[in-house]
Chains A and B, each alone.
Chain A
């Protein structure tokens, strides 16, 4: 039981890591990115390619994948999302849904529908003991990464001039422009950060379990649920939301694995009923 809770907390960190980019894109640009989970899966496939192509271990693959993901995010914002956001409330949802389908099909064509997983080597299998519990190094590293990334993002937004301009732009883009803020680069950076964190989370998910071109859907749903349970617009809330998801999943799995994911969705509906999301 305690072991399940601890495992849940650790996995929850990774859920929060996927979710923070989704929350950021929504909070700053009002972009509901349906392709967020698929972009995370792309991160895992890119790491796979880096491993196959250069024999790069996952940690080294990060150095390649993260800047690339940032660039892709920025480019998507400047070419696609920006226009979609001008097209009313529904347009971004439709456009990113389309992007999701495109990514899935490209992945199937390029990498086949077979489930894959990232090989983390000995590290991914090893564990260590704390107070009678055996913890996986990989999951612990995933959790630590999530905390560091969310913490850094929080500091970036709260303490730096760039973060201040991001928050100002989120509040009122027109007023931000009147203060001399160039809104397009700000949005491009935020989209870049969002996709880079998704790719990072995707790599951890790929190390922890198998993935295929269609894994993005469930990842997206988990990310949505973490954001909603944790409360919109707060990074620490997102972390808490991810942890609640992870713990619920692990506890229910103790009882019956088949209901683990279902339990998470039920919890999500419960939260929505008690505390509806306000825009």
Chain B
């Protein structure tokens, strides 16, 4: 469904993502893990259209969308839940969802469904988003992306700064999304949650892929080595 081919992305002189390739299938979750600064956010931003890549391409259903702006990719069904939530702080919860609805594709998701998913949100829908806790904001950020009915959902560090219990609750959602045929690309520093739901895992180190495959095919030691760049074996 989504294919990334030999994508490179720079911040000035610094190459943050180095000839990276990956492919995503409908109904599957693909996890990209890596330490802080590995280039995960830059990768997702390039896929969403916020960061123009230096080379390589992004394809959706075989069509090259590398040069398309993010607002057009939304209508094609690519939605990013950005790192740090990035809610519209002066808007209410409901207004945040309605903005997410602006260019929505047809599909099952609308604000009512989001309130069913997070029942406590319904009572708080008239509150400014800035008054919510981190976990609640993350739920709204996910909701804001879902109401656009994406076919590919990009999640940047869902767990960042949240309590383990909240993180677990948010991750419990993912299988339900995958069931509907949505493809999910999730990026994490926190490896354990991501490995549990993902059918493929890809480890980044300084913008390069150091490991890729099915999570169960790797031992924790192998993951650790790829994550931190320890040289346990020859390439």
Chain A contact residues, CB within 8 Å of chain B:
161, 164-165, 167-168, 170-172, 174-183
**Contact residue range for chain B?**
20 to 34
- Given contacts A178-B74, A178-B80, 13 further A-B pairs with CB under 8 A are A161-B102, A165-B102, A167-B95, A168-B99, A170-B90, A172-B86, A174-B86, A177-B70, A178-B48, A178-B82, A179-B99, A179-B148, A181-B102
Q: List B83-124 residues whose CB lies under 8 Å from chain A.
A: 86-91, 95-96, 98-100, 102-104
How many whole Å from B126's CB to the nearest CB in chain A? Answer: 13
* Contact B70 A178, beta carbon cutoff 8 Å: yes
* Contact B82 A180, beta carbon cutoff 8 Å: no
How many whole Å from B92's CB to the nearest CB in chain A? Answer: 10
On chain B, the residues within 8 Å of A175 by CB distance are 82, 86-88
On chain B, the residues within 8 Å of A171 by CB distance are 88-91
Choose from A170, A178, A181 the contact partner of B50 (Cβ within 8 Å).
A178
- A161–B95 Cα distance when bound, in Å, is 9
* Contact A164 B95, beta carbon cutoff 8 Å: yes
Closest to B94 in A: A164
On chain A, the residues within 8 Å of B96 by CB distance are 168
On chain A, the residues within 8 Å of B102 by CB distance are 161, 165, 179-181
How many whole Å from B148's CB to the nearest CB in chain A? Answer: 7
How many whole Å from B71's CB to the nearest CB in chain A? Answer: 5
- A174–B90 Cα distance when bound, in Å, is 15
On chain B, the residues within 8 Å of A167 by CB distance are 88, 90-91, 95
- A177–B73 Cα distance when bound, in Å, is 10
- A165–B101 Cα distance when bound, in Å, is 11
Q: A-B contact count, CB below 8 Å?
A: 69
- A195–B103 Cα distance when bound, in Å, is 29
**Residue from A171, A175, A179, A183 whose CB has the most chain B CB atoms within 10 Å:** A179
Residue B75, interface by CB 8 Å: yes
- A177–B86 Cα distance when bound, in Å, is 12
Closest to A183 in B: B71
On chain B, the residues within 8 Å of A179 by CB distance are 74, 99-100, 102-103, 144, 148
Given contacts A165-B102, A172-B86, A174-B50, contact A180 B95 (CB under 8 A): no
Residue B220, interface by CB 8 Å: no
On chain A, the residues within 8 Å of B88 by CB distance are 167-168, 171-172, 175-176
Choose from B50, B75, B100, B145 the contact partner of A177 (Cβ within 8 Å).
B50
* Contact A168 B91, beta carbon cutoff 8 Å: yes
Identify the 5 closest CB pairs spanning chains A and B, nearest first: A180-B103, A180-B74, A175-B86, A171-B88, A168-B88
On chain A, the residues within 8 Å of B70 by CB distance are 177-178
Sample (28) of A-B pairs whose CB atoms are under 8 Å apart: A164-B99, A167-B91, A168-B91, A168-B95, A168-B96, A168-B99, A170-B90, A171-B88, A171-B89, A171-B90, A172-B86, A172-B89, A174-B86, A175-B82, A175-B87, A176-B99, A177-B49, A177-B50, A177-B70, A178-B50, A178-B74, A179-B74, A179-B100, A179-B103, A179-B148, A180-B74, A180-B148, A182-B71
